[in-house]
Structure 1
């Protein structure tokens, strides 16, 4: 404890002294990562599916920041999820090419459900041809952003976008409990149960309506990049391959703020994924006819972009922002099947043979085998300080409540939480939510971490924010 306090004190002193000397540089790049080999497996569904065309390009959008002391990279990819071992390989390759330390790279996904599969999840395997292709493209994106470094300034803004997000997980009436895939009556809460008010008693938690922005511009005021963050799972209903609302939002922001006289370094907009494991766009507290329940992909993206642009106009910038980044790797256990469930799973998987699962029961039977084989894992949590702005990451599908815990206790004046970063380790309901059951709790690679995973990840994120800021949490 004495050692930790000393490091924090020295870090805060250095932060004050360095602030007057730092010269922030920022580079941005967007690299098209649309698949070139079709058809391609698409992640995000219960069972396997594929796409034979690209309906809208998907991108890896990258930032590289340098304050003269250290250099960090931020990448957001139009993908559903990316596993830690894959990202560790990308970081090593990118480090060899750019000199940026692997633990100074933050790599996350938008969580679109209409992009090529990079991680095996539920009934879909990773696409064997797309994974190595994307690996090279991500290295290219970081290198391109590093090549575009230029003196810059940074600013923060946030806005209320409550009309664009809502709770999707509702608590069921005691007499309307449903069965899980294992045949047990455990589903006391589940996604979209609010569609039928007769089945439910209310929402299972809060939503987070904050749309947060970190803006970068040149010293003469030319926009370089905008990193946005919002908690809304995905729009849905788009034909893959497609970036969902994340890509449309970015295109609208780029059209509004791009241009100028530096087309060799075009402005890059980025939408990162905020904690939205229990969040969607449909507000079940209101009738289906309500305006906010009738957005199209276009009107939804336009409304969110308009809110962002209004907030952007009021940003004040800091040209002397310093950087600090910290990373921790936490060992966590999986919730492995007991003997009875394992025997049930083995019977089903043996009957399947070599074919992929076709039913929910087959999907979760196969998942029990995976969890039994793996037993445990390590997950990556990071914190990044840019001046007085904070970024915390989780490698999971995190509930809005967890994001609010981190934001409200952060020692920094503005903090965004980027989920599904540096890995794709599934849902982590707060412990009290586990007893309610439902899809988000059913043991699988997409929801298999120990019950205590959420408080462990939350506490680690706050400790890292304290470390990079040199200040105690609120």
Structure 2
């Protein structure tokens, strides 16, 4: 069963889907980032994986980030989680436990291999730019909003790049962070595919000979410029090799400075914000909600942070975030490279700005949050980046 759009069963494979894994170790902190060609997973599925890795391999869950590329043409993995609350009719079938176990075991095998293959490396960081995406909150003359194209709407076309080199300067791996829905193909497509993120990753890998981890960004209101077509050919899927793949290659070439002196610092915080009145909550997500003494039901959002040296701040959340929120956070960050890794460690719905809520449309119907959530999240993340992360940054400079 493919996840994304209506319930439907695949009838073949258009392109292969992967776990891509990078392990980094600075001598004190060992960190893992996984990019998987799936639509999303429930936070409870991440918790299950993290508990197993902690028990068997002593991996700190704080240092384990599992991201989904958000392709809408890959099989379901694990229980439905929060989507079943909004789209109950879609989830009348049981999830495929056998396939889920396969995905989990292959992920663990990959982490073990990555850890085993740790070798001295250098790291570089940079920016790129691609016009492969567009705001999808289309408006009519009355302000009614539907899924479509809005060329005048907010967008984020930056590519955040991390380059990993071997000691001799040859390429080891690339990480590219870009906001784009994995919806080149529509629900009419029944072929398994990584959609644009997957096709772009394979293209860059063919050109460079090393893995590319595609990490989706704040794509809640961002579509590919060709979107919801019935087949790869109709959707110009291969054109994204040029539209985005070549731009990633250009961004990689622009990174001319790398260092073998790397410090990794991880952290996290819980952001609590009221959820919609009357909204049911899945049993498997009990750790992600709380009821106050006054009877207010809260969503508990786990936000993770990674600081690399003195100039890179990465934050992640299990959210389908609107891009204007991550753009504002980046604008208020003291770090020259601030990246948002979306769809990380699960999915707890769309989180959109209060301004966009009044226009309605699809996204508010699959958001569990009451108005004001964007402001709460933005303030919490900016405060953490400007406060705790920057404090560590200043202390590190004093030590040097």
Q: TM-score range by the shorter chain?
A: 0.7 to 0.9
| Change in CA separation of 1:97 and 1:240 when aligned onto 2, cut-off 3 Å | farther
2:174 to 226, 244, 256: 226
Report if the CA contact (8 A) 1:395-1:424 is conserved. Answer: yes
1:264-322 residue CA offsets vs partner (Å, 9 max, x unmatched): xxx211111111111112389xxxxxxxxx97111112331111112211211021021
Deviation at residue 236 of structure 1 after TM alignment: 2.2
Instruction: Report what 2:208 is aligned to.
Output: 257
**TM superposition score normalised by structure 1:** 0.71
Counterparts in 2 of 1:265-284, with a 5 A limit? Answer: 267-282=210-225
CA distance in 2: counterparts of 1:371 and 1:87, whole angstroms: 15
| CA RMSD after TM alignment | 2.5
| Change in CA separation of 1:249 and 1:193 when aligned onto 2, cut-off 3 Å | closer
1:315-361 residue CA offsets vs partner (Å, 9 max, x unmatched): 11021021111112333443133xxxxxxxxxxxxxxxxxxxxxxxx
Instruction: Report what 1:243 is aligned to.
Output: 194
Instruction: Report what 1:334 is aligned to.
Output: 275
Q: Aligned pair count?
A: 360
Q: In the alignment, does 2:114 pair up with 1:145?
A: yes
1:378 to 285, 296, 300: 300
Local SS of the residue matching 2:276: coil
CA distance in 2: counterparts of 1:85 and 1:369, whole angstroms: 16
Report if the CA contact (8 A) 1:380-1:423 is conserved. Answer: no
CA distance in 2: counterparts of 1:89 and 1:102, whole angstroms: 11
Q: In the alignment, does 2:373 pair up with 1:453?
A: yes
1:416 to 321, 325, 339: 339
| Change in CA separation of 1:441 and 1:391 when aligned onto 2, cut-off 3 Å | same
1:424-452 residue CA offsets vs partner (Å, 9 max, x unmatched): 0111111121111111101xxx4222323
| Change in CA separation of 1:369 and 1:212 when aligned onto 2, cut-off 3 Å | closer
CA distance in 1: counterparts of 2:44 and 2:212, whole angstroms: 27
| Change in CA separation of 1:455 and 1:144 when aligned onto 2, cut-off 3 Å | farther
Instruction: Report what 1:22 is aligned to.
Output: none
CA distance in 2: counterparts of 1:111 and 1:55, whole angstroms: 16
Instruction: Report what 2:2 is aligned to.
Output: 42
1:107-164 residue CA offsets vs partner (Å, 9 max, x unmatched): 11000001111252321364333223222222222222111111111111212212x1
| Change in CA separation of 1:268 and 1:193 when aligned onto 2, cut-off 3 Å | closer
Deviation at residue 376 of structure 1 after TM alignment: 4.6
| Change in CA separation of 1:455 and 1:137 when aligned onto 2, cut-off 3 Å | farther
Report if the CA contact (8 A) 2:40-2:346 is conserved. Answer: yes
1:25-61 residue CA offsets vs partner (Å, 9 max, x unmatched): xxxxxxxxxxxxxxxx11111x311114333221111
CA distance in 2: counterparts of 1:385 and 1:94, whole angstroms: 23
Deviation at residue 78 of structure 1 after TM alignment: 0.8
Counterparts in 2 of 1:30-429, with a 5 A limit? Answer: 41-45=1-5, 47-118=6-77, 119-120=79-80, 121=83, 122=87, 123-124=90-91, 126-162=95-131, 164-174=132-142, 188-192=144-148, 203=152, 205-237=153-185, 239-258=190-209, 267-282=210-225, 296-315=236-255, 316-337=257-278, 376-387=298-309, 388-429=311-352
Larger Rg: 1
Instruction: Report what 2:230 is aligned to.
Output: none
**TM superposition score normalised by structure 2:** 0.83
Deviation at residue 63 of structure 1 after TM alignment: 1.1
CA distance in 1: counterparts of 2:10 and 2:123, whole angstroms: 39
| Structure 2 residues not aligned, in runs of 5+ | 228-233, 290-296, 395-400
Instruction: Report what 1:463 is aligned to.
Output: 383
1:70-96 residue CA offsets vs partner (Å, 9 max, x unmatched): 111111111111111110111121223
Instruction: Report what 2:397 is aligned to.
Output: none
| Structure 1 residues not aligned, in runs of 5+ | 1-40, 178-187, 195-201, 259-266, 285-293, 338-367
Report if the CA contact (8 A) 1:55-1:239 is conserved. Answer: no
CA distance in 2: counterparts of 1:275 and 1:81, whole angstroms: 14
Report if the CA contact (8 A) 1:64-1:71 is conserved. Answer: yes
| Change in CA separation of 1:66 and 1:405 when aligned onto 2, cut-off 3 Å | same
Local SS of the residue matching 1:437: coil
